[in-house]
Structure 1
Amino acid sequence: MVNGFDPATATGLTEESRELVKRRSDLLGPAYRLFYSNPVEVARAKGVLLYDSEGNEYLDAYNNVVSVGHCHPRVVDAITQQAQTICTHTRYIQKGILDYAEDLLGTFDGPKRHAMFTCTGSEANDLAVRMAKHHTGNQGIIITEEAYHGNSELTAGFSPSLGPYSPLGTYVRRVPAPDSYRIAPEKIGAWMAEKVSEQIVDLQRRGVGVAAFIADSMFSSDGIFSHPTDVLKPVIDVVHKAGGVFIADEVQSGFGRSGEKLWGYQRHGITPDIITMGKPMGNGYPVAAAVMLPEIVEKFGRDNRYFNTFGGNTVAMAAAQAVLSVIRDEKLVENSLRVGKILRDGFHTLAKKYEQIGDVRGSGLYVGVELVKDRSTKEPDAAAASAVVNGLRARRVLISATGPHANVLKVRPPLVFTEANADRLLTEAEAVMASL
């Protein structure tokens, strides 16, 4: 796992940390993973800060789940008040889910849509692909090479970033990511559409066709590629022509993350058939959704009964409504744009001093910094990325890494990140870069 803790090579852990790691392994088993060569223990949090049990403070520049900041009082209050009133499922008439669905659907441009609620992004993507297959009568799924879309049986089958030992589905096909660092930007859209076309032909030859192309519009696990923004339209045209649908996975790129729009796909000027969301939707409370065109769900709803015990429950809707309201009221999309530019500008300045920084990219509060061994060859440098991530952790600033070569610094803080927070991150990043 990128930026994963390896107990076999761990050194320098305190006796207490070593004991906690052992207890964790004994109780939870080997499938769980910890971050950082020296794992972080957390006891409480507020805003963009985490604290361990000894009161040491960490700047959180990684957790997009708590999009409006850890323990935001309005979200906490909404959850608490609703939990004290009633928490139940969607088979009763309730105003909360209707009010929120109306509010949420109003944020999407284009044609009318329906909303269906789940607990996680994995469930939302699972449901989206089920509907795509039912709607099209096809089975093929096309993704980018290092995509992540979930950890259910179905979604893990089209999430290659889970690793080479996690099997992909029989009719899952991969295409290269739109690598704007190595491919001329004006050529990427047509090039990517051609790659998708090749995979569609293969699926058709096998008699299954293409049900869906699914992508995160920031290509987060592929290395964070935010520009150009004309990449997806030619791909969608090819997919539609072959009878498939386009699913925009907004779990990581939505809810104002890009700073330019509320939804990442909107930067591309396109109209997805299905939109999925999760993680930041409830600021840590498990709530997610799939939003689709009426014709996508019409036959599915007629032929299938869909029910999710916890999806769309009253407390989940209260949390989601509070988050959406906070994003608006505190102008967090605008904050994402402003502070994100400060971060990127700061890394561009560092790139003038440190040759290891080959590229700085991103949009809003989603920044990717690609580290290379040589700028002329653009050879990825995973070791340098690991050193920066863990060097920042030692200075109590938390980021991670991404990309197929684990060489892209992944900076993705809560949307309430301030200019002062950005300055702290950049100051510590420069100190770490100087030490490499």
Structure 2
Amino acid sequence: MAGARHNKADTLALRRQLLSSSCRLFYPEAPVKVVRGRGQYLYDEQGAEYLDCVNNVAHVGHCHPLVVQAAHEQNQELNTNSRYLHDNIVDYAQRLSETLPEQLCVFYFLNSGSEANDLALRLARQYTGHQDVVVLDHAYHGHLSSLIDISPYKFRDLDGQKEWVHVAPLPDTYRGRYREDHPTPAVAYANEVGRVVSSAQEKGRKIAAFFAESLPSVGGQIIPPAGYFSLVAQHIRGAGAVFVADEIQVGFGRVGKHFWAFQLQGEDFVPDIVTMGKSIGNGHPVACVATTRAVSQAFETTGVEYFNTFGGSPVSCAVGLAVLDVLEKEQLQAHASCVGSFLMELLQQQKEKHPIIGDVRGVGLFIGVDLVKDQAKRTPATEEADYLVSRLKENYILLSTDGPGRNVLKFKPPMCFSKANAEHVVAKLDAILTGMEETLRSCETLRSGPTGLGCRAAAGSRPS
């Protein structure tokens, strides 16, 4: 079988020998060796089937036959750089333009989301003539040096915050500064951005851009309050800066109600730059930046061409077109809305049943389940979340965590994820949580410790 040339132990040994330990595995104590994928499922070397609840890269499903076919057929015909005329790149740009507000009419094609955000930073600085960037706390925008610098999720563990980076509070209405009981959280959080901008200006700094994931993912599957982006844009554009919407995790119909997640903020909001990656190519390395004519023309005045060897190749654009075709033919945006709402309902029922579930939030097939040790204090249940993910893996369900406390279960499955899949996952989640609660109730450490984690071994031995 392709992908299974070594037994699992040998593959792991070779990886440890040849790859850096900083290149981490999921489930490091018991990693999964994956050799095949189809739809919303992954298969290990023994043929065991795992339900994939987190792989938003395989947007329309692992190894979708139409996407694979498009890449194969174009590979047989031509694959070269974009300095030659070719129909695929203009057809693809036109198709993308039909999904976006008309102001976003100029496209750059690249290989990865990190490249897209790096280019967005360059575009913003050239257009504004400014240097500084405002970002949201806990944000992650990519692995290039330029993006580590604007990703609090990363730079706080490395060299710290640069003087040209300014961090605004994450608009989290569950555990942030302004919560669900605040009368106007969008206004309150936007005013925080305004204060950050004013503070920077008082120090003589000039803002080039505000970067935000349209739905902050690493920050904990956050849904910003409606109207927040429009209000932030007033502060940002008033400072002569541009608004960059990072759609790398959440674009292409994932939110169900709209094709792009920034559209959840209302029809009056249009970003100046949109970045795309991950799901755009269903696993093929494709990325894109869409921007306005004014921003692109300012970039052109440098006299320095923009060139990307592999970005916009005939194969990459054929793949991108195929992904759009599948989204349309299989009505996956509407599917995401229907299945996502169904999954949210099931998870809300679990919230009523299990006190460890503090919050269920999401839209479409972008959902977070915030686990807490205490409902009132909302203390992150980090260890419990890790345990739960491990138990789900034992039940052949792949899920992961995010958020500053690593306590938010994140659902970002392939868009073909079904209602039956949702029922299956929630049934297993219910069984594991019930087992944990029964074990904790019988444990002497329940009252003497914060969560009774000393009983985890017993909880882990319970059937699910």
TM-score range, shorter chain: over 0.9
Structure 2 CA distance, aligned partners of 1:57 and 1:115?
Answer: 39
Post-superposition offset of 1:19: 4.3
Partner of 2:55: 63
Partner of 1:195: 192
Post-superposition offset of 1:149: 0.6
Post-superposition offset of 1:110: 4.0
Structure 2 CA distance, aligned partners of 1:165 and 1:17?
Answer: 32
Contact 2:250 2:260 in 1 (8 A): yes
Partner of 2:144: 152
Q: Within 5 A, what are the aligned runs for 1:2-151?
A: 17-36=8-27, 37-151=29-143
Structure of greater Rg: 2
Post-superposition offset of 1:113: 1.5
Partner of 1:7: none
Partner of 1:354: 354
Contact 2:103 2:293 in 1 (8 A): no
Partner of 1:249: 246
Structure 1 CA distance, aligned partners of 2:174 and 2:140?
Answer: 21
Seen in structure 2, the aligned counterparts of structure 1 residues 169 and 312 have a Cα distance that, compared at 3 Å, is farther
Partner of 2:262: 265
Describe the superposition over 1:71-108 as per-residue Cα deviations: whole angstroms up to 9, x where unpaired: 00100000000000000111111111001100101111
Post-superposition offset of 1:193: 1.7
Describe the superposition over 1:49-89 as per-residue Cα deviations: whole angstroms up to 9, x where unpaired: 10001101100010000100000010000000000000011
Q: Within 5 A, what are the aligned runs for 1:230-309?
A: 230-269=227-266, 270-303=269-302, 304-309=304-309
Letter in 1 for 2:164: Y
SS at match of 2:372: strand
Structure 2 CA distance, aligned partners of 1:192 and 1:293?
Answer: 27
TM-score under structure 1 normalisation? Answer: 0.94
Partner of 2:395: 395
* 1:181 correspondence with 2:174: yes
Describe the superposition over 1:95-143 as per-residue Cα deviations: whole angstroms up to 9, x where unpaired: 1100110010111124252011000000000000111011111111111
Contact 2:148 2:155 in 1 (8 A): no
Structure 1 CA distance, aligned partners of 2:146 and 2:183?
Answer: 34
Post-superposition offset of 1:227: 5.0
Letter in 2 for 1:260: K
SS at match of 2:376: coil
SS at match of 1:373: coil
Structure 2 CA distance, aligned partners of 1:305 and 1:186?
Answer: 49
SS at match of 2:264: helix
Partner of 2:435: 435
Structure 2 CA distance, aligned partners of 1:200 and 1:366?
Answer: 30
TM-score under structure 2 normalisation? Answer: 0.88
Contact 1:157 1:166 in 2 (8 A): no
Structure 2 CA distance, aligned partners of 1:423 and 1:190?
Answer: 37
Alignment gaps of 5+ in structure 2: 1-5, 437-464
Q: Between Structure 1 and Structure 2, how many residues are aligned? A: 422
Alignment gaps of 5+ in structure 1: 1-14
Structure 1 CA distance, aligned partners of 2:200 and 2:11?
Answer: 48
Structure 1 CA distance, aligned partners of 2:390 and 2:7?
Answer: 20
